[in-house]
Amino acid sequence: MEERLMAGHGRIKPPMGRDNGWWWEQAAQGVVAIQRCSGCGTLRHPPRPMCSECRSLEWDFIPAGGQGTVLSYTVLYHPQFPGYEYPLTTVLVDLEEGVRMTATLKDCDPADVKFGMKVSAFIHEDPDGFKIPMFRPAAQEKV
């Protein structure tokens, strides 16, 4: 069980199943994806099987532009788990496409995080090769 839940160095892996496995496959390829309803075009995140607007079960996805604004955040100090850097800042981001995404904020001191702060998404790669979308302040985006 532990091997399934933990990446090689200790990061807890997110659940991956029928409804969201495709999203993690896109992240592994370096793409932050947003699910789109094929029936009405509504964007949604996190991925789910049915559109809340038209009830369609058909969907595709678009790549996110990766730009957004911090709507809310929290800084975790305890408990500390292997594979994470503390303090751990988790942000709720309004992406320019109109959906919200929760992820880790990197390259930013917790004291410098502000509501309304501009951030850019990037794909972080753990030492074991596991890839996960994260954010960093837009001014620090690396090309």
Q: What is the pLDDT of residues 46-96, one digit of tens each?
A: 999 999 999 999 999 999 999 999 999 999 999 988 888 999 999 999 999
**All structural domains of the chain:** 2-140 (2.40.50.840)
Question: Do the bridges between strand 100-104 and strand 33-37 make them parallel or antiparallel, or are there none, so unpaired?
Answer: unpaired
Note the pTM of the prediction, 2 decimals. Answer: 0.87
pLDDT above 90 covers what percent of the chain?
A: 78
* Ramachandran sector of residue 66 (left: φ over 0; alpha: ψ -120 to 50; beta: rest): left
> How does DSSP assign 61-112, residue by residue?
EEE---EEEEEEEEEE-SS--TT--SSEEEEEEEETTS-EEEEEB-SS-GGG
CB-CB contact of 87 with 110 (8 Å): yes
Q: What is the mean predicted confidence (pLDDT) over 96-118?
A: 97
- Chain-wide mean pLDDT for the chain? 91
pLDDT, residue 99, reads 98
